[in-house]
A and B are shown apart, each in its own frame.
Chain A
């Protein structure tokens, strides 16, 4: 059974925002809602790093724990989804999420906060897969079409990896071994476990030249 995960390789992300654009276009996400965004650390300083951030579909999702109406559920593939028919838009999940994933469209009168919207790992929602109702609420269901999330598949530098956790972590581990640096995976420990129990791959030790 696959366990879907995201990895963003900060050594490769060039802050092109292609993932953000792909997501918005694929799911017809409204203005004011960004399911994915690119965060740059030490912006403007030499050595700055960019990371593409969205819902990480945590193993122990805090949004699920705090939701007062229990609108979240997890699929067999480890994707954390929610039911917009149950969501009351209270915003508790927004406070609980360490990644700032939950978004709230302000499309009502007097800035009324609507139903929560977030990354679905391109897996839609509880409605029938590929139905118009599902697309209207959650966007396209690419997993049911045999595809991976649009953001990861569209990433030009392959910084953003999405898919079966074992496969994408193996790809990342191989990269780190080849380049010998950049083993930090921001958010990985927070989303999928403590570093002590789920350690990031170590960089190849430098060989001293005599």
Chain B
């Protein structure tokens, strides 16, 4: 009787531990199919593309992003 209870206990414990072995779906969704922004817009013939960078040049685009970001700092225009 005691032996049967022990066996059943082991089976239940094994089942519980199997459930803990599920792999996380955390960062598996990182996909690279999207075209990077620095490659520009396919509709780049439109007039909305900002000046100051070259389409397809990653370094140029990153510098453009930094410049636009710094443009949000009004202390660069006025003395605090």
- Which A residues form the contact surface with B (CB < 8 A)? 1-2, 60, 64-67, 70-77, 81, 83, 123, 125-126, 128-132, 140-141, 143-148, 152-153, 155, 158, 161-164, 167-168, 171, 174-175, 178
Contacts and interface: CB of A to CB of B under 8 A. Distances in A.
A141 B66 CA distance: 17
A126 to B, nearest CB: 5
9 contacts: A73-B29, A75-B37, A126-B34, A128-B42, A129-B42, A143-B65, A161-B69, A164-B62, A167-B66
B72 A152 contact: yes
Contacts of B80: 178
A52 B60 CA distance: 30
Given A144-B37, A146-B53, A161-B72, A71 B29 contact: yes
B24 interface: yes
Contact of A129 (B35, B64, B73): B35
Contacts of A167: 66, 69-70
* Chain B interface main SS type: loop
A163 B70 CA distance: 9
A75 B62 CA distance: 14
Contacts of A65: 24-26
A145 B62 contact: no
Contacts of B29: 64, 67, 70-74
Contacts of A74: 29-30
A124 to B, nearest CB: 8
Listed residue (B29, B39, B40, B42) with the most chain A CB atoms within 10 angstroms of its CB: B29
B69 A129 contact: no
Given A67-B25, A75-B37, A145 B49 contact: yes
A81 B31 CA distance: 10
A82 B44 CA distance: 23
A147 B73 contact: no
Contact of A147 (B27, B33, B68, B70): B68
Contact of B65 (A64, A72, A164): A164
B42 A131 contact: yes
Given A65-B25, A129-B35, A146 B66 contact: no
List 3 A-B pairs, minimum CB-CB distance, nearest first.
Answer: A130-B41, A163-B69, A130-B43
A158 to B, nearest CB: 5
A75 B39 contact: no
Contacts of A147: 50, 68
B75 A178 contact: yes
B41 A73 contact: no
Contacts of A152: 72
